[in-house]
Each structure stands twice: as structure tokens, then as C-alpha cells.
């Protein structure tokens, strides 16, 4: 049973517009949510995280919104740039206690078209 | 910037052969993870180490996979014998592993791409 779900395998957006990537989760006990970006032939790189006690976290062009009641989070990228084209993974974890790895979704491939 | 080193980057082998992957985490990172990513899927945890001890290997196919981190620094993941279904990207990651210090941000290496023929 997948605990973290990214139901859109791909998304295409025009350069300069907003990209919205969605993620749903099933376990209400998750304490943190993270977004990673992955280019081909490279490992995932950390983008931004949010604690379950927050509903928004912003870092430059990237904002993550969390709706706990809906068990849903989204990553907004504004404005989108061609270099943002990559696979984006949503991940979740419990409060770290020495035994809490990240649980990943399947990823969404973002294509930003110039 | 500190990196997680992995080798080899690419490995092609025939089924029933043995393969091994090596990982050197960021210096000072106590926690080391091996993930497997099959094409089109997200990374899935195989094994987690805290220093030299295995914390979680519940998803590691122990009949053919083994992992060690003998001195609590670098780590090796071995597959013997390799099967066709083992073709995937094997990702190593590390983190400081501090309890109650916020989100557990993992730093990943570039991965080792395995193709089993």
C-alpha cells in the first residue's frame, strides 16, 4: 500500500508560468514532508520541506502548501524556468528517532517549455 | 560542497553473476541508506545503517542481497546472484541522523545504474 502518492506522472508548463505539483498521503502520523528534484543520471537533490505543524513554507521560487485535513500537499514553482525540467519526488517521514527513513512517491516529470 | 560518492556509476552484468556497489557518505553523517529506484517508480528503502549497525533491513531481499558498513563510514551493497528484476538505480544517501532536529534531509549520491542481461 503506497503511503505517498503522486497521481500525475507528468506535467508540462510554459516558461514563466506557475507549476503546481501535487502529492497525497495516507498516514496522518507523518511529521515532515520533503520535495526532491531529480535530473537524469543524477541522484535526487533536496528542494524544500515542511513540518506538519505548518501550512506553508517558502524558499525563493518554491513554495510548499500543506493541507492536513485533506492529507494533501503541493509544490508551487513561480516563475517556472526551463532548468526546472526534472522529475519531482514528494517524500514523507516521521519525527526522526533513529529509525525513520523517507517514504517516496513515484514522482512527477515536469517539462518547462520555452 | 560535500558529496556522497558512489561507484561504479554504471554496471552491466549477466544474470547469476555477483555485483557490488560502494558508497562513501558525507563525513560525519552517522546514518546511511541504500535505496533502489526502478524506472518510473520512486526510491524504495533497502537498508538503513546508524553508524555500523543495521537499523532497518526489512525490505532487503536477504537471500541475494547483503550490505555492510564495517567501520561506520563507507558501505558496500552486494547482490549475488543477480536477477533480471534487479535492473535499477541503486542510490546511497546519508544524513546527520540527529534525533528531533527537524526534517531528516537525506543527501543522495549520483547512484549506480545496474543492468542485468
pLDDT at A95 (0 to 100): 76
User: In 3-state terms, chain A is what percent helix, strand and coil (to 5)?
Assistant: 5, 55, 45
Question: What nine digits make up the cell of A37?
Answer: 528534484
Dig out the grid coordinates for B94 from the structure. Answer: 546519508
- Chain A interface includes B58 (CB < 8 A): no
B111 touches A at CB < 8 Å: yes
Asked if A53 reaches chain B (Cβ–Cβ under 8 Å), the answer is no
pLDDT tens by residue, A3-54: 999 999 999 999 999 999 999 999 999 999 999 999 998 999 999 999 999 9
A39 touches chain B (CB under 8 A): no
Predicted pLDDT of residue A48: 96
Nearest residue on chain B to A50, alpha-carbon basis: B103
Chain B interface, best mutation among A102, A107, A108, A109, by max B CB count within 10 A: A102
Residue from A37, A29, A24, A20 nearest A76 by CA:
A20
pLDDT tens digits for range A60-72: 999 999 999 999 9
Contact predicate A106/A91, CB 8 Å: no
Q: Which pLDDT band, with edges at 50, 70 and 90, does A59 fall under?
A: very high
Contact A32 B104 (CB under 8 A): yes
Amino acid at each position: 500500500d503506497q503511503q505517498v502518492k503522486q497521481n500525475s506522472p507528468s506535467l508540462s508548463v510554459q516558461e514563466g508560468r506557475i507549476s503546481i505539483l501535487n502529492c497525497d498521503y495516507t498516514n496522518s502520523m507523518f511529521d515532515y514532508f520533503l520535495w526532491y528534484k531529480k535530473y537524469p543520471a543524477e541522484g535526487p537533490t533536496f528542494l524544500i520541506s515542511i513540518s506538519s505543524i505548518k501550512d506553508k513554507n517558502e524558499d525563493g521560487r518554491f513554495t510548499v502548501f500543506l493541507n492536513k485535513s485533506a492529507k494533501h500537499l503541493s509544490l508551487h514553482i513561480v516563475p517556472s524556468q526551463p532548468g526546472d525540467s526534472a522529475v519531482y519526488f514528494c517524500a514523507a517521514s516521521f519525527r526522526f528517532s533513529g529509525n525513520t527513513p523517507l517514504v517516496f512517491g513515484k514522482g512527477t516529470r515536469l517539462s518547462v517549455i520555452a | 560542497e560535500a558529496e556522497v560518492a558512489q561507484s561504479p556509476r554504471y554496471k552491466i552484468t549477466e544474470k547469476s553473476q555477483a555485483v557490488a556497489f560502494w558508497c562513501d557518505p558525507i563525513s560525519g553523517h552517522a546514518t546511511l541508506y541504500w535505496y533502489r529506484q526502478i524506472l518510473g517508480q520512486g526510491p524504495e528503502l533497502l537498508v538503513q545503517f546508524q553508524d555500523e549497525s543495521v537499523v532497518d533491513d526489512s525490505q532487503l531481499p536477504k537471500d541475494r542481497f547483503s550490505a555492510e558498513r564495517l567501520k561506520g563510514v563507507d558501505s558496500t551493497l552486494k547482490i549475488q546472484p543477480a536477477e533480471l528484476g534487479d535492473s535499477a538505480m541503486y542510490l546511497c544517501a546519508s544524513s546527520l541522523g540527529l534525533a528531533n532536529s527537524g526534517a531528516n534531509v537525506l543527501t543522495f549520491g549520483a547512484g549506480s545504474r545496474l543492468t542485468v542481461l
